[in-house]
Amino acid sequence: MRTLNVLRPIGRFLLPLVVSMILLVLLWYGFLELYPQVGLVGKSPGDVWTYLVTGPTSGNARHVVFDEMRITLKDALIGFGAGLGAALAVAALFIGVPAVAQAFMPVAMLLRSVPLVAITPIIVLVFGRGLLGVTVMAAIVVFFPALVIIMTGLRSAPRQATELVVAYGGSHWTALRMVAIPAALPSVFAAARISVPGALIGALLGEWLGSGKGLGAGLIRAIPTFQYNRLWASIALVTVVSVVAYAVVGVLENLVLARFAPQRGRD
């Protein structure tokens, strides 16, 4: 019975994603039907399947695209971890020391409004064109939205429980660790779900403008060389990976909340 209670919210989370994937394929076909002027540039899901799976050169195509995808996934994963970890640490600091939040939160929001493309040359100049530069760009995309969401979750901690910890001699940092962070778990997972596609976008952008490796660079090289099958296959693969990663985080969220916050896990 307990297993069923855990699997039910997971199923409720995964079913809409499956439906979304089906709708995405239908919209893809619909777009090509409505805009036939894209001509040879536009490739259907069937064309991508042939290119990657059943075509005479599909083995080499998979090797090229999947190798680039592995580089991008590594870049995105490191950037995701760095950005989300930094957002959690900074959010805890801002909640624990409100004066710091009042001083630096406006600066953070101002930096967030600057397009990443505009500051990419500075990032490349400071951190280089290697893994570190790409990681910084992916982490920046993740950091700012996650910071706002996690801070909202930390502020929603029950005041009575926080005051009880302090009344029994605990510090504000102890109350943050014992009360606020567990209460903010739904917000942390919400930030993680939103950050997964952002980390991939940041990694693609960093590879395009910085490292020259991975799927981001491969997408740009495919356009001037008229490799439109490769272009659409890469875009489709990024989309599928984003959806799968989002689903994985959602499943982990339901499992963790079912264990530590059963009522929230059933929402």
Residue with tokens 């409004």: 113
Residue 150 identity: I
Q: Which residues of the chain have pLDDT under 50?
A: 262-263, 265-267
Instruction: Give me the helix-helix angle, 58-96 and 98-112, nearest 10°.
Output: 150
Query: Domain ranges in the chain?
Result: 57-260
Q: What is the pLDDT of residue 8?
A: 63
Total length of the chain = 267
Q: What is the pLDDT of residue 13?
A: 63
Task: Tell me the C-alpha distance between 227 and 170, whole Å.
Answer: 62
Residue with tokens 């399947």: 49
- Whole-angstrom distance between the N-terminal and C-terminal Cα of the chain? 18
Tens digits of residue pLDDT in 155-206: 887 777 777 777 777 777 777 777 777 788 888 898 998 899 889 999 998 8
Q: What is the pLDDT of residue 82?
A: 94
Q: What is the pLDDT of residue 265?
A: 46
- Residues 172/150, Cβ–Cβ less than 8 Å: no
Q: Which two structure tokens, joined as six digits, stand for 8?
A: 């039910």
Task: Tell me the C-alpha distance between 139 and 105, whole Å.
Answer: 17
Q: What is the pLDDT of residue 71?
A: 92
- Residue 95 phi, psi dihedral angles, 5° rounding: -75, -40
Cα within 13 Å of Cα(20), Cβ side: 12
pTM for this model (two decimals): 0.82
Class level of CATH domain 57-260: mainly alpha
Q: What is the pLDDT of residue 10?
A: 61
Q: What is the pLDDT of residue 266?
A: 45
8-state DSSP, 226: T
